[in-house]
Structure 1
């Protein structure tokens, strides 16, 4: 695949972050507290799958792994769309190898509504960009998207989910995404590591997993000597 939703969001936070993801992923360090938040987000997303009742999930893993089989998910999604499945979870779409998987895709009378689920109490701008990337990919496949929602925490367990309509804001990002997605594609194929000074992007909107590397707190394993280990 070329650029995924995660690639795009990370690349727009910092080009170097995305380049390191592709070329030096072994340098990443995910703090335990961040992993806890990621796991909690996955749990919240799993619960939200049933917010509209019965659904079909498109997730397929490569044999013996927890790595999504994107090609299998794309094929499974097309079959579900042809069958008119009312609610599809993790629906996969690709355009020129750029890829996304939608948390919930709900059939309407004229097309589908898109729901991006976030383990958060409110809608933040990065969430809208996240949903906008999905809208961009799906629109280019020809599937009609009527409305776009961000699902956040509800007030209590009896009302655990709130659907926030961000259709207008998300659609306004279409040209911005188109202007940047191809540039990120080219950048990931460059052999030289981008020269990006450390700055606000190291921690906003999310702390970078390469923070230690870029700030000189850790070195690449191949740079270590025998003395370093003693």
Structure 2
């Protein structure tokens, strides 16, 4: 069993971008901007989308059940996970020579990522990102490339990064994407800098509606953009 961490001694950390907002920016920079500056204009997710989210969480939970014991960061910190998660994760990793963490949090360059499963063994780290899909989609590469960039910057240690997909037969297929993600680090640095600058602008970027409103995900601001076009 892992020793408890004294949370009261941890330092809050803050961020401007997260994994989910970064993916929005990769889909459409206006999506990213509106998500920050016009959050009340979002259209709520429909029932089908909420069901896909639930199925994804169930798939992730089943994969995580293979790891025991583990430190579950959101379960420990609750609503404080977004401000205290990175400090808490760092404290756990410093204290434990070998540990498994669910939703380990890392902040670098004012950007937050939370990894589904992180396994530390000595100075080496293995990360698993779980996606309830049978296909390796381009949007997953965006997601994992950012995670790899932030985690490698924060950890400064050997890092293996895997995606876990649905094998279509009630099981998993694990793909090591480390080399692909390493090659994307320079592009991630450029994107993070550009997106953070975008969020400081006084006006949303002038982007017309188009295919990006539906791909890879249905944008939550389609109704707003339709009214204001």
- Settle same-fold status: TM greater than 0.5: yes
Structure 1, unmatched stretches of 5+, are 63-67, 220-230
Name the TM-score, length of structure 2 as normaliser: 0.85
1:47 Cα deviation from its structure 2 partner = 2.2
TM-score (norm. length: structure 1)? 0.84
Moved more, 3-12 or 138-147: 138-147
- Whichever of the two has the greater Rg, that structure is 1
Distance 1:46 1:84 in 2: 25
Q: Is the 8 A contact 2:98 2:122 kept in 1?
A: no
Distance 1:173 1:47 in 2: 30
Would you say the 8 A contact 1:16–1:193 is kept in 2? yes
**Cα root mean square deviation, aligned:** 1.7
Equivalence for 1:227: none
Work out which of the residue numbers 135, 139, 154 in structure 2 matches 1:126: 139
Structure 1 residue 180: Cα displacement: 1.0
Mapped contact 1:111–1:143 kept (Cα < 8 A): no
Q: Aligned ranges for residues 69-108 of structure 1 at < 5 Å?
A: 69-82=81-94, 83-108=96-121
Q: Number of residue pairs matched?
A: 210
Distance 1:167 1:96 in 2: 21
- Does 2:50 match 1:35? yes
Query: Which deviations, in whole Å up to 9, do the C-alpha atoms of 1:89-113 show, x marking residues without a partner?
Result: 1000011321111101112454101
Equivalent in the alignment of 1:25: 39
Alpha-carbon distance in structure 1 between the residues aligned to 2:180 and 2:214: 24
> How big is each residue's C-alpha offset from its partner over 1:53-83, in whole Å with a ceiling of 9 and x where there is no partner?
3211111222xxxxx5323211221122121
Q: Between Structure 1 and Structure 2, which shows a larger proportion of helix residues?
A: 2
- Separation in structure 1 between the aligned mates of residue 167 and residue 122 of structure 2, nearest angstrom: 27
Q: Give the conservation status (yes or no) of the 8 Å contact 1:114–1:145.
A: no
**Aligned mate of 2:78, from 61, 64, 88:** 61
How far, CA to CA, are the matches of 2:224 and 2:101 in structure 1?
40
* Aligned with residue 23 of structure 2, among 3, 6, 9: 9
Q: Which residue of 2 aligns with 1:212?
A: 223
